Amino acid sequence: MIFSINAISAPFRGTQLVYLLGERADAAPAVRPLSVGSVLGNGSILSLIYRLSFLKWSTFMQTALWKSDWAESRDATPFDVTFQAADERESDGEGVIEPETFYQSHVAVMTRQYSKSSRMQMPTLNHITSPMMYICARLMGKFDYSILRPSPSFHQLDDCVFTTGSETSMGEEYWANDGVVPIFSRWHPLPCRRDHCRHLETTGQPDEDRLETPRPGIWYVNQEDDAHHMSLVPLWTNTDRQKQWWKRLGRWLSTVEENR
Ligand SMILES: [Zn+2]
Q: Are residues 40 and 139 in the same domain?
A: no
Q: Could you tell me the distance, in angstroms and rounded to a whole number, from the CA of residue 242 to the centre of ligand 1?
A: 24
User: What is the residue range of 21's domain?
Assistant: 4-26+80-258
The more confident residue out of 110 and 117 is 110
Q: Could you tell me the distance, in angstroms and rounded to a whole number, from the CA of residue 5 to the centre of ligand 1?
A: 15
Residue 164: the pLDDT is 44
Q: Could you tell me the distance, in angstroms and rounded to a whole number, from the CA of residue 27 to the centre of ligand 1?
A: 29
At residue 46, does pLDDT exceed 70?
Answer: no
Q: Are residues 137 and 188 in the same domain?
A: yes
**DSSP calls for 224-256:** EET--TTSSSSS----HHHHHHHHHHHHHHHHH
- Kind and range of the H or E run holding 160: none
Q: Could you tell me the distance, in angstroms and rounded to a whole number, from the CA of residue 191 to the centre of ligand 1?
A: 7
Q: Are residues 50 and 167 in the same domain?
A: no
Q: Express each pLDDT in 120-164 by its tens digit.
A: 999 999 999 999 999 999 999 999 999 999 999 988 644 444 444
Computed over every residue of the chain, the mean pLDDT equals 82
Residues in the chain: 260
The CATH code of the domain that includes 193 is 3.40.50.1820
Q: Are residues 156 and 215 in the same domain?
A: yes
Q: Are residues 39 and 106 in the same domain?
A: no
Q: Could you tell me the distance, in angstroms and rounded to a whole number, from the CA of residue 97 to the centre of ligand 1?
A: 12
Domain boundary residue, one of 53, 72, 91: 72
Q: Are residues 117 and 221 in the same domain?
A: yes
Q: Are residues 22 and 47 in the same domain?
A: no
Q: Express each pLDDT in 190-201 by its tens digit.
A: 999 888 999 987
Q: Could you tell me the distance, in angstroms and rounded to a whole number, from the CA of residue 198 to the centre of ligand 1?
A: 6
Q: Are residues 102 and 206 in the same domain?
A: yes
- Average pLDDT rounded to a whole number, residues 112-120: 86
Q: Express each pLDDT in 59-69 by its tens digit.
A: 554 555 445 56
Q: Are residues 236 and 251 in the same domain?
A: yes
Residue 17 φ/ψ, nearest 5 degrees? -60, -35
CA distances from 248 to 19, 183, 208, 210, 223 (A): 35, 21, 10, 10, 13
Q: Could you tell me the distance, in angstroms and rounded to a whole number, from the CA of residue 190 to the centre of ligand 1?
A: 8
Number of domains in the chain: 2
7-10 contacts, C-beta under 8 A, 24 or more apart: 7/103, 7/104, 7/105, 7/106, 7/186, 7/188, 8/105, 8/106, 8/232, 8/233, 9/106, 9/107, 9/108, 9/178, 9/180, 9/181, 9/186, 9/229, 9/232, 10/105, 10/181, 10/186
- Return d(Cα 52, Cα 35) in angstroms, integer: 23
